[in-house]
Each structure stands twice: as C-alpha cells, then as structure tokens.
Amino acid sequence: MKNTKRLYYLIGLVVLALLVWMMRDTFTQPGTDDLKMDFREVAAYRNENNTGPIKRVYAVVVSDSLWHEMEQYGKFMPHTKYGNTQVYFFTDEAHAPKKLNAEEPYFEESLYEYCIGRYEKKAMGQEGFVKYPFR
C-alpha cells in the first residue's frame, strides 16, 4: 500500500513537471517582438479566396537594414499551404505604399527604388529573401 502511494505521487510529480515544461514552452515562443529592429506594417493585402490559394502581400517600414532580421520577420508572417506570402521592406514611411494591389505590380512603380528587401514564401514552402529586388 505504501509503495503504491509513492508510485502515484511519483507519477503525479512527473505529469506536473511535464505540464509546467509544456506551458513554459508555449508562452516563450519567439516572435516579432524579439527582433532587434522596429517593424511597422503600413499596408497589407489578402485575397478573399478561402477555398484556393491565399495570397498575402505586406509593406513594412523598418528602422535599419539588418538583412537577417528582415528575413526572420518574413518567416514570422502568416502563410497558408499552397498560398503565397510576400513582404516588401522600406526604410521611410513617406516612400512606402499606403495601399497594395491584388496583382503585380502590387504598388506604384515610382516606389520601387525605395524598396530595400523582399521576402517571399511560395506555395510549397520555398522561401527566399532578396536585397534591393527592383535594382
């Protein structure tokens, strides 16, 4: 009887430890707040197609040109299987698009020279980051 009670306490302790570990892991996931740069989304587009491929396009103003941080930000953006997510990075809000279009060109061609980076995640999960995509 005494050994059975110890076994129950041991099992309970293991279950409690696993729960604490899972909860800690759940609430400490990395996100955009953990990045060193400031990111401000100024425009976004998402098509209304919920049965087929979902296209997402974002225009983001950044505080610096840390390429790795921009790529990480792109990886944190939502993506749907068979969909396409594109993030365009700009350094100045005055030279960033206020509205994005459904088809290319997603924003005015006069703003191309101010775009410093583009992150894209394609339909089957292929990722790519391009510095100065319009030069």
Q: How far is CA 22 from CA 19, 32, 115, in A?
A: 5, 21, 40
**Residue 92: φ, ψ to 5°:** -135, 125
Q: Write out pLDDT tens, residues 18-70.
A: 999 999 988 877 777 767 788 999 999 998 877 778 999 999 999 888 899 99
Whether residue 1 is predicted with pLDDT greater than 70 in this model: the reply is no
Whether residue 4 is predicted with pLDDT greater than 90 in this model: the reply is no
Q: Using CA atoms, how far apart are residues 127 and 135, in angstroms rounded to an integer? A: 20
Q: Write out pLDDT tens, residues 93-132.
A: 999 999 999 889 999 999 999 999 999 999 888 999 999 9
**Residue 104: φ, ψ to 5°:** -70, 140
- The structure's pTM equals 0.80
| Cis-peptide into 105, omega within 30 deg | yes
pLDDT band at residue 134 using 50, 70 and 90 as cut-offs:
very high
